[in-house]
C-alpha cells in the first residue's frame, strides 16, 4: 500500500514543531538559570554595581580566554567595530547563524572583530564544533557565565553590536539573517 503523503507531511510538521518547541525550551531554561543567578547577586546586596547594558551605553568590558588560551579583552579592540555574540553548541538557532557570522567576518575584515562568547561549555565540547564549522573568529569561554550575567543575556543567541568607541549601538535577540547583520554593521560604522 503506498504511503499517504498527507500523513507524512503532517508528521513532518509535528516533528518540526516539537524540535522548535524543545529549542525554545532550552533557550528559556538557560535564560532562567542566568536570571536566577543574577537575582541571587542582587539579593546578596550587589545591585549597586550592576548596570543594564543598553543601546548608547558603554559595553561592559569582557576579559575571557580564547581557544588558544590567550586573554581577550573587549577594551583592547577600541578603534574596531565589534560583534559580541552569546551562544552555545546545543542552541539550534546559534548553530544556524554561525556560518553567516563567518561570511560576515571575512567580508568586513580587518575592520570587524567577532567575539563569540560560549556559555558554560568545556573545550571538549567546543573545539570539535568549531573545527567542524570552520570558524576563524574569536571563540571565548565563559565557563561560569559571569559575562552573560553582566550582559544580562536571557536567551541564545543574543548579539551586541559595539562601535569603535566601545558603545553599544544595537542589540539583537534570536537568530539573525545577512540583511539584518549588514544594517547593524552600518549602525556601528563598519567599512
C-alpha to C-alpha distance for 47 and 82, rounded to whole angstroms: 28
Please report the pLDDT score of residue 180 as a whole number.
98
Considering the domain boundaries, does residue 14 fall inside one?
no
The DSSP bridge pattern shows strands 63-66 and 81-87 to be: unpaired
Indicate which CATH number applies to the domain containing 106.
3.40.30.10
| Bridge partner list, 115 | 84, 138
Domain that holds residue 120: 56-187
How many other C-beta atoms can be found within 10 angstroms of the C-beta atom of residue 23? 17
Instruction: List the grid coordinates of 3.
Output: 504511503
Instruction: Look up residue 56 and give its three cell numbers.
Output: 548608547
CA pair distance 45, 164, nearest whole angstrom:
34
What are residue 132's phi and psi, to 5 degrees? Answer: -60, -40
Where do we find the cell 500523513? Answer: 7
- Average pLDDT along the chain, 191 residues, taken 10 residues at a time: 55 53 48 44 44 91 97 97 98 97 97 97 96 97 97 97 97 97 96 85
Work out how many domains the chain is built from and give that number.
1
For position 52, what pLDDT does the model report? 80
87, part of any domain: yes
What helix, strand, coil percent values describe the chain, rounded to 5?
A: 50, 20, 30
**CB–CB of 162/90 below 8 Å?**
no
On the question of a cis peptide bond just before residue 157, with omega within 30 degrees of 0, the verdict is yes
| pTM > 0.85 | no
Q: Cell numbers at residue 27, please?
A: 533557550
Residue 158 lies in a domain: yes
pLDDT of residue 14: 56
Amino acid at each position: 500500500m503506498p504511503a499517504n503523503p498527507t500523513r507524512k507531511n503532517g508528521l513532518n510538521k509535528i516533528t518540526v514543531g516539537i524540535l522548535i518547541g524543545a529549542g525554545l525550551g532550552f533557550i528559556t531554561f538557560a535564560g532562567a538559570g542566568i536570571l536566577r543567578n543574577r537575582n541571587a547577586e542582587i539579593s546578596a546586596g550587589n545591585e549597586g554595581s550592576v548596570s543594564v547594558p543598553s543601546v548608547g551605553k558603554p559595553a561592559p568590558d569582557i576579559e575571557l580566554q580564547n581557544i588558544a588560551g590567550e586573554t581577550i579583552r573587549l577594551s583592547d579592540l577600541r578603534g574596531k567595530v565589534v560583534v559580541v555574540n552569546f551562544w552555545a553548541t546545543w542552541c539550534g538557532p546559534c548553530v544556524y547563524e554561525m556560518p553567516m557570522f563567518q561570511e560576515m567576518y571575512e567580508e568586513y575584515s580587518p575592520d570587524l572583530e567577532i567575539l563569540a562568547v560560549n556559555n558554560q561549555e568545556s573545550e571538549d565540547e567546543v573545539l570539535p564544533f568549531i573545527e567542524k564549522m570552520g570558524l576563524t573568529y574569536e571563540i571565548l569561554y565563559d565557563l561560569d557565565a559571569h559575562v552573560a550575567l553582566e550582559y544580562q543575556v536571557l536567551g541564545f543567541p543574543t548579539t551586541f553590536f559595539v562601535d569603535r568607541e566601545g558603545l553599544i549601538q544595537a542589540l539583537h535577540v534570536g537568530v539573525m539573517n545577512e540583511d539584518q547583520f549588514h544594517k547593524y554593521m552600518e549602525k556601528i560604522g563598519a567599512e
